[in-house]
Amino acid sequence: MAQSVKKTIIVNGTPYIGAVGVNALESLGNTAKLTVNANFDKKTSPNFQGGGGNEKVFQRFKDGTVTLDCRQTSITLLEIALGGTSETIAAGAVADEAHTVVALDKLIQFDHMQDMSIPLIVSPAAGGTAYVEGTDYLRKRAGIIPLSSGAIAAAAEIECAYTKHKHARIQALMKTVTEKGLLFDGKDEVEGAPFLVKFHRVGFGPTKTLEFIGEDFLNWTIEGEILAYEGITDPAKSQFYESKIGGL
Inform me whether the pLDDT recorded for 2 exceeds 80.
Answer: no
Given CATH 2.30.110, say whether it is the number of domain 11-44+57-86+171-245.
Answer: yes
- Tell me, what's the pLDDT at 194? 93
* Residue-wise pLDDT tens digits, 19-77: 999 999 999 999 999 999 999 999 999 999 999 999 999 999 999 999 999 999 999 99
Inform me whether the pLDDT recorded for 1 exceeds 70.
Answer: no
**pLDDT-based confidence at 217, cuts 50/70/90?**
confident
Inform me whether the pLDDT recorded for 12 exceeds 60.
Answer: yes
Inform me whether the pLDDT recorded for 241 exceeds 70.
Answer: yes
**Amino acid (one-letter) located at 215:** E
The model's pTM is 0.83
**Domains of the chain by residue range:** 11-44+57-86+171-245, 91-165
What average pLDDT score do residues 198-225 get? 91
